Structure 1
C-alpha cells in the first residue's frame, strides 16, 4: 500500500477561491510556532476545513481518521478504516477518505463523523483523491485512475479504470477546473476530464514528485521533489516557470490565493518550511519543526481563511501537529498575591507568578503606591522561572497598592494586575444597644439606639430583631453608617419578647463585635362581661349588674399564639378584702376565650374578674407575664 498523501483537498479549496494560509511575505515573523502530540502511529494525509476550523489527519496503520481543532485538540476519531490514506475536502464541504484495504471511499461530515461509504465490487483499492470536472477521482494502488461521479440523481458508485496510466503505484492527484494532474515516479501527466473519455493533454518527466498542488487560479502547478526540484510549471506544457531554493529534499507544498508558496522539506527539523512571496525564489520566512522528528511527505496544509500553516512531523510511531505561524498571541496569565492586611511596622511579602512560560528578560513594571506616592519596586524584567517576590515593611497607615504591568510582545498578550491591602494597627472597639431588660406593652414601637466606638475604617452597624418563638425569623431592621457620635437608631414594633442585636462586622484592623438587648413584651389582654342588664357605681368603682337567675359569660381577648391559653381568675370581697374564689385556663380560639359562671349566685356579694397571660403556664414563653385589668360585677334580684 502506498504511503503517499494527496494535496487534492487543499487544491480544491484554492480552486474555490479560498485562502490556503496567510503568512506575510517579507519582514520578521510575528507569530507563534506550536506543537501538539497526535494520537496516531502513522501518517497518511492532512486536510484543513476552514469553514469549521477543523484539521483532518489519516492514520493508515491504525485505520483511523482523527479530527482536531486549530489548537490540535482532538474532537473526533473514526476507526475501522483499515489502510486509510488519501483525504479530500470537496467543494460541498464534505471530507472524503480513500480506504484501499476496504475497496472504498468514505465521506465525513463537518463534525468528522462517517456519513456515507462508496464501495466497488471490482478489485479496486482507492488510495489517493482529487476533485476535477464535477467528479471525484481516485488513484488506484495498481496505478490506474477511477471516478466517483457527482451531481446525479442516483447514488454514485466508484467507476474503476476510467483513465489507464503507466504508473505502477497509486498516483499523486490534484485538480483544477477540468484538469486532473497525476504524478507517479518522475512522470507528471495532465488529463482533460471535461469529456466522457478523459485524455492526456501533456506528460513530462519532472523528476521524482512527492507533492502536487494547483495555484488558486489554476495557472500554475506546484511540484515538490528531492534534489532541489521544487518548481512551478505551466499546466499547458509543464514547462518550468520558477524554481524554489527551499532545500534538497522537498516533500510537501502549499499555496495561498495571492501566490505565496510554502514548501516543506524532509530530513531536517531546522528550516523545515520555507515561505516564498509571489514571484520570489528566495524564502521570506522559514519555520523549524518543534520537538524533534521531520516533516512528513505531503504533510503540509494551510488554513484556508487565515495565517496558520499545519504540518505533521514525526519519527518512528511518534507524531506531532506543527502549527506554524499561529497569529493568536499566547494569553499571559499573572497571579499577584498580597496580604489582606498588614500591621503597621510588620514585614510582609508580595509574590507574583507568570502562568505561561513567558520568556525571561522581557520588561515588566512593578509599582508600589501609598499615601506618600508611587515608586518602582522589584525586578524590571521577567525572572527566569517567572516568579518574583518583594519584601515590604509599611511605615504609614492606609492603602498600599501594587501594580504589575507586562506590555507583552508579538507572541504574548499584555497583562496588568493590581492588588491592594490595608496597613494599620489592630484596635478593639466598643458596641452597645440600649433598652436591655425593659418591658413594653404589645404593639409598642420602640426606637433602639446602637453606639459604636472608634474603628479603623468600617463604620456600618446592622440592627437585627429576633422575636421569641419559632414562627418568626430573625430579621434585619436597619443597616446604616454610624453618625459622628457613633450612633445608629432603628424603630421596631414589639409583639413578642424580642432580642435586638447590634452587629459590627469589623474591618482590617478592628475585630467584629455584637451587642444584644432583650426587651420583654406584654400581651394585649382584656376581659368583657356578657348578659348583664346594666352598669353603675358602687362607691367609686363601676360594677356590672346581673340578675341572680342569670349565669354571666366572660369573653377574654388576648394576643394570639399557637396553643395559647388565657388565665381567668374570679375573686369575691368578704367585707374586708378581696379573696380568691375560682380560676381556670381557657384555650384561645383565634384571639378569644369564653367562660361561664354557672350555679347559685349570692345577691349583693361583690365580685371581680380578670384575664392574664402567665409566662410558661399559658402554653408558651414568647411574651412576659401580663395581668389584665379587673372587671367588677354583682348580682341582684
Structure 2
C-alpha cells in the first residue's frame, strides 16, 4: 500500500488542549471542549476559521448535539451541571444541575434521554441520566453499570437502535494496561438492563475510544494493547469489533498500531480509525468500509499525535475533521480531510523540457492508494499557453494506470499540460501538471511617422517587420489602424517585404489632435505577434471667436451686455461665457449653442473691474480658442461734512468761523489704503475758484477717509468741497458730488 501525504493545510486552534470535538453540519460549525481545569468551548466554521470561545463553562468536557441539531449540550465537570445552547445563536438557554460532586464528563443520547458518565474521583464513577422537559430536567444517578470503572464511563448511542447504550471505561494509555470495562445497556426498561457478559472483550487493554454503529449492530474499540489467545500482551495493531447481539468478536479493523480513536460515518458505511503508529510509520487516520476493506489513509508528520476520540465525521458530507497535537500533547491543530469515502488517487506526468515546433509526447501514470484491480480510466487533458487554456482529447489510463498524451503545441514559450482524473464512485479526483518550453519565431516592428502635419494633409508612415528564429513563409501581412478623437478605424493592410521587412502606407488624417497609427503583425502558430504605434500631432483649422461688451462706463454698478460671436466650425457650436471680477473667482454667465448668426449673449451686473472670457472647446476639425476683454467701472465716492457743530441752511452747512470743517469720505467697492484727494473752492466774482487742493489721504481698512480744512475763510462767503478717488486695480478714478458750506460770526 502506498500512502500519499495529507493535503496541505492545518489550522491552529489557539487553545492549550482539546477534550472533545463535535461536528454541527446543520450550522456548519465545529465545537471543541477544553476539558477539566479549564473553562469554555472553542467554536469555528468547518474549515477552522472564524474562531471564538464561549466562556463561563467550567470544566467543559463532553459535547452532544440533539438529533435535530438545534441544541448543543455541554457537560460541565467543574460545575456539576449540563449547559444547554441554542446552536443558531450560540446562547446558553438552560443549565441543569446534576448533583453536588458529580463532575459529569461524557454524554450520549438514548431513547430520548441524555445519559452521562460522572464522578470526581475513584471509586465514585457512575452512570446518570437527564430527562429534559418543558418544566425542567429530571436527573437520575447510580444507574447500573456492572464492574468498577476507573474513570467516568465514555458513552455511545445509536441513531437507529436508540434503546442501546454503550458504556466503556477509558483506561488508556497503553502504559497503564488496565483491563477494559465495557457495558452494553438496554435503556428501554425503567431501570437500564445489561446485555450479556463482558468477558468476550477482555482482549482489549488500555481502552482509548469506542464507537457504536448507527444501526446498533456492532461496536468497535480503540485499544492500546491486545491480549492474544495465549494470554500474552502485544501492542495493538487493529481495532476489534463486537456484535451487540451476542457480544462475540466479529471483525478486526487494521489501521496502524497504537489506536487512539474510532468513529463511524453517519450512515454506518465507513469506520474511521485513528492511530498514532509510533511503532510503525507515522500517525494516521485510516478509513475502511464496514466489511473491513480499506478505502483511504491520511498520514501526518511523525512528531504529530492524534488525540483520543480526535476524529469526527459530519452528516451529509465526505469530509473528516481530525485534531492533532505535537508529540508533547500541546498546540492542538485542526486538519480537514476531504473525500474520505473514496480511495485516494494521484497522478504523475512527465514532459520533455524543450521542443521545437513539433509533436510532443507526455507520459504519466494514475496511482491509487489501495492496489485493487483498476479498469481503464478516462483522463481529461488541457494545455495552457500564452494565449489561453485549450481542452485536448481525453486519454485512457490502462489497467496499470499508464497513459500517453500526444499533442502539437500551437504557441511558443511555456506550455503547461494539466491531466485531471475526475474521480469515480470509489476513487477520489486528482490532478497534476507538467511544463515544457516550445521554441519558435519571434517578431518585432518599428514604425515612423511625421511629428506634425496639417489636418487633411497627406502623410506617409513607414515601418519594418523583423522575424527571428524559425522561418516563417510569406506573405507577411501587417494590419494598420488609425485612432483619433472620433474613434479607431481600420486602414488597408500592407505587406512587408520578405527580404527587408520594410513596408509603408499613406493617409490624410481628417481629425485634428493626436492621431495614433498602430501596425500589428498577428503571427501564427509558431510565431509571436507584435505591435508598434507612432503618434502624429495633427493641427486643427483655426477658429474665429470674437467677444464684445456694452456698458455705460460712467455709471457705478452698470449692467454689461456680453456677446460672443463664433465663426465657422465643423460640428461643435457650443460657447461658454465667463466673468471674473477683480479679486474674485470666475463665474459662469452662460454656456450654450450660438444662434444662426453665431452669437451667444449674456448680461452681468458689475461693481468693479471685470474680465470677460469666451471659450470654444474645439471639434474634430477646428482648434479650441479663448478670447478675453476687460470692462472697467468707476468707484462710488461720497463725501460729507461731519464736524464741528453746524447748522443747516438749504444745501449749506453753517460753521463758526473759528471751527475747521472736517470732511468724511467713503469709497465703494473697498479701496483700503488707496489715495483720496480733496479740493476746496470759494465763490467769488461770479465763479467758483479753487483755494485748496490736498495731497494724498489714505483710506482706512473700512475704505473711509477724513480731511480737515484749515485754510483762510471769510464770513458770508460760499464754499464747497470735493473728494477725488485716485483709482486702483479694481476701479477707475472718480469724484464725489460737491458738499457746500459757509461761516458765521
Aligned match of 1:324:
337
CA distance in 2, matches of 1:518, 1:238: 108
SS of 1:94's equivalent in the other structure is: strand
Residue 225 (structure 1) aligns with: 222
Matches within 5 A, 1:249-264: 249-264=258-273
Tell whether 2:637 aligns with 1:625. Answer: no
Separation (CA, whole Å) in 2 of partners of 1:626 and 1:172: 105
For residue 175 of structure 1, report the CA deviation from its aligned partner: 1.8
The structure with the greater share of residues assigned to strand is 2
Contact 1:271 1:289 in 2 (8 A): yes
d(CA) in 1 for partners of 2:108 and 2:339?
A: 28
Confirm whether residue 134 of structure 1 aligns to residue 116 of structure 2.
no
Offset of residue 96 of structure 1: 0.6
User: What is the distance in 1 between the residues matched to 2:12 and 2:303?
Assistant: 11
Q: Is the 8 A contact 1:527 1:556 kept in 2?
A: yes
- 1:272 matches 2:284: yes
Residue 344 of structure 1 aligns with which residue? none
2:413 and 2:339 mapped to 1: Cα distance?
A: 33
Equivalent position SS for 2:322: strand
Q: Is the 8 A contact 1:563 1:588 kept in 2?
A: yes
Q: Secondary structure at the match of 1:625?
A: coil
Preserved CA contact (<8 Å) 1:53 1:70? yes
Say which SS state the counterpart of residue 9 (structure 2) adopts: strand
Change (3 A) 1:520 1:395: same
Separation in 2 of the partners of 1:194 and 1:146? Answer: 15
> Which structure is higher in RCO with an 8 Å CA cutoff and minimum separation 6?
1
Instruction: Tell me the distance in 2 between the aligned counterparts of 1:152 and 1:210.
Output: 36
1: CA distance, partners of 2:10 / 2:736: 96
CA contact (8 A) 1:263 1:274 kept: yes
Listed as ranges, the matches of 1:386-405 within 5 Å are none
1:105 Cα shift? 3.8
Output the TM-score relative to the length of structure 1.
0.54
Partner SS for 1:225: strand
Q: Residue in 1 aligned with 2:294?
A: 283
Shift of 1:211: 3.2
Q: Supply the distance in 2 between the matched residues of 1:215 and 1:473 (Cα, whole angstroms).
A: 86
Indicate the residue corresponding to 2:132 in structure 1: 150
TM-score under structure 2 normalisation?
0.47
| In 2, Cα distance between equivalents of 1:286 and 1:476 | 79
Kept in 2: contact 1:97–1:107 (CA 8 A): no
1:125 correspondence with 2:103: yes
Q: Quote how far apart the aligned CAs of 1:323 are.
A: 1.5
1:67, 1:77 within 8 Å by CA — same for their partners in 2? Answer: yes
- From 193, 196, 210, give the equivalent of 1:199: 193
Q: CA deviation at 1:293?
A: 0.9
SS in structure 2 at match of 1:125: coil
* Residue 444 of structure 1, CA deviation: 5.1
Stretches of structure 2 that go unaligned for 5 or more consecutive residues are: 170-178, 224-235, 341-381, 389-409, 418-432, 434-442, 448-515, 521-530, 540-544, 566-575, 592-599, 618-625, 641-647, 654-662
The match for 1:94 among 69, 72, 91 is: 72
Partner of 2:29: 54
The higher radius of gyration belongs to 2
Distance change in 2, residues 1:564/1:194 (3 Å): farther
Q: Match for residue 294 of structure 1? A: 305
Q: Give runs of aligned pairs for residues 2-17 of structure 1, distance below 5 A.
A: none
Match of 2:147 in 1: 166
How far off is 1:160 after superposition?
Answer: 2.2
Distance apart, 1:146 and its partner CA = 1.0
Secondary structure of 1:126's match? coil
Paired residues for 1:491-570 under 5 Å: 522-523=632-633, 525=635, 549-551=650-652, 560=669
| CA shift in 2, pair 1:202/1:379, >3 Å | same
Q: CA deviation at 1:202?
A: 4.7
Mapped to 2, the partners of 1:490 and 1:394 lie a distance apart of 54
Describe the shift of the 1:162–1:280 C-alpha distance in structure 2 as closer, same or farther (beyond 3 A).
closer
2 CA distance for matches of 1:395 and 1:602?
Answer: 99
Q: Equivalents in 2 of 1:468, 1:132: separation in Å?
A: 93
Q: 1:585 to 1:84 in 2, by over 3 A?
A: closer
Superposition deviation, residue 555 in structure 1:
14
1:209-608 equivalences under 5 Å are: 210-215=208-213, 218-226=215-223, 227=236, 230=239, 235-238=244-247, 244-268=253-277, 270=282, 272-276=284-288, 281-289=292-300, 292-314=303-325, 315-318=327-330, 319-325=332-338, 365-366=385-386, 379-380=414-415, 469=583, 522-523=632-633, 525=635, 549-551=650-652, 560=669
CA positional deviation for 1:220: 4.2
Q: Which residue of 2 aligns with 1:4?
A: none
Q: Provide the rounded CA distance (Å) in 2 between the counterparts of 1:39 and 1:265.
A: 23
Q: Deviations over 1:19-43 (max 9, x none)?
A: xxxxxxxxx9999552123334444
Total equivalences in the alignment: 478
In 2: Cα distance, 1:473 partner to 1:559 partner: 19
1:523-566 Cα shifts (integer Å, max 9, x gaps): 46457999xxxxxxxxxxxxxxxx994349x9999865598999
Is structure 2 residue 161 aligned with structure 1 residue 182?
Answer: no
- Counterpart contact for 2:260–2:309, Cα < 8 Å: yes
